[in-house]
């Protein structure tokens, strides 16, 4: 039985998000890859990308232009 799974990184303050940007969560990405390989539909969203770049998914779930 396959499942749809969304893994979300919690947001951090901008200064912390900039530090996290330098060290991506490799373990989480490997987990998502393993889930996909074993028949699930898994995706990963890093909400800190919005804090660092000002683009992407915002905290309200809105897409910035």
**Greater pLDDT, 4 or 23:** 4
Distance CA 58, CA 4 (A): 22
pLDDT digits (tens, 9 = 90+) for 14-53: 667 666 656 677 888 899 999 999 999 999 887 777 666 6
Q: Are 16 and 51 in contact (CB under 8 A)?
A: no
DSSP percent split of the chain into helix, strand, coil, nearest 5: 40, 20, 35
Q: Is the pLDDT of residue 61 over 80?
A: no
- Cβ neighbours of 27 (radius 10 Å): 8
The residue that leads in pLDDT, 5 or 26, is: 5
The residue with greater pLDDT, 11 or 56, is 11
Residue 64 has a pLDDT of: 41
| pTM beyond 0.85 | no
Buried b (16+ CB within 10 A) or exposed e, 36-64: eeeeeebebebbbbbbbeeeeeeeeeeee
């Amino acid at each position: 039985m396959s499942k749809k799974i969304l893994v979300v990184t919690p947001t951090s303050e901008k200064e912390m998000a900039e530090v996290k940007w330098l060290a991506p969560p490799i373990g989480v990405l490997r987990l998502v890859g393993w889930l996909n390989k074993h028949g699930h539909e898994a995706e990963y969203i890093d909400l800190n990308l919005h804090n660092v770049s000002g683009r992407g998914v915002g905290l309200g779930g809105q897409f910035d232009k």
